[in-house]
């Protein structure tokens, strides 16, 4: 049984979906939900589901990314995770951290990578006049929002869409794709999933 640590920064809706899926014949179980923000709403949700939680507040490490990441590792490693799932974890991680968990870390990103790495993905898709948008689950490498793609889900861009309306439709697909991709990754299958 694989052990999964989930890293969040906010409300944790993807984290909840991952945890809800990790039951029964699933090849993994959640062992930790960690946030870089002590007021992240997902912490209370994780605790209510009986999962250990931890906080490493990035604001305690002003300008010291190395110190922040050492504290993250110190909080995570006692749980002996086989997989780290980034679920809205809004911190850029250095090659040292990524290397520590090499080939064990996955992320979900709200665009059809390689398009729109980084932030404001929905606004950028609308500004570009794209006719579709979506989300991507990928292995984490030292390059931002890069790494082998484990799955993508597509949604049409509709007339009159705003970043918020597009984001809401993409989030529905994130909640479907990420649990499927984690289940497959935890079983050792890295073949990509395509939805939509």
**C-beta of residue 83 within 8 angstroms of C-beta of residue 186:** yes
Q: Which is nearest to 5 in space by CA: 32, 28, 24, 25?
A: 32
109 catalytic residue (yes or no): yes
- In the 8-state DSSP scheme, what is residue 139? E
* Strand 28-35, strand 53-55: pairing: parallel
Task: Pull the structure tokens for residue 82.
Answer: 């086989």
**C-beta of residue 68 within 8 angstroms of C-beta of residue 56:** yes
Q: Which of 26, 100, 109, 175 is catalytic?
A: 109
* Strand 132-139, strand 149-156: pairing: antiparallel
Residue reference for tokens 């949700």: 45
Q: Annotated catalytic sites, by residue?
A: 109
């Amino acid at each position: 049984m694989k052990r999964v640590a989930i890293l969040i920064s906010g409300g944790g809706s993807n984290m909840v979906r991952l945890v809800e899926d990790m039951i029964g014949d699933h090849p993994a179980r959640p062992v930790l939900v960690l946030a870089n923000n002590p007021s992240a709403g997902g912490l209370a949700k994780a605790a209510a589901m009986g999962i250990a939680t931890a906080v490493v507040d990035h604001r305690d490490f002003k300008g010291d990314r190395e110190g922040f990441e050492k504290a993250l590792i110190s909080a995570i490693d006692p749980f002996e995770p086989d997989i780290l799932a980034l679920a809205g974890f809004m911190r850029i991680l250095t090659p040292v951290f990524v290397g520590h968990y090499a080939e064990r870390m996955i992320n979900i990103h709200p665009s059809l990578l390689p398009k729109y790495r980084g932030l404001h993905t929905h606004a950028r898709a609308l500004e570009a006049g794209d006719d579709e948008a979506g989300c991507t689950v990928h292995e984490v490498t030292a390059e931002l929002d890069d790494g082998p793609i484990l799955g993508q889900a597509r949604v049409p861009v509709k007339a009159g869409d705003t970043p918020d309306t597009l984001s809401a439709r993409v989030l529905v697909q994130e909640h479907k794709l990420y649990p499927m991709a984690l289940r497959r990754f935890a079983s050792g299958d890295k073949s990509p999933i395509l939805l939509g």
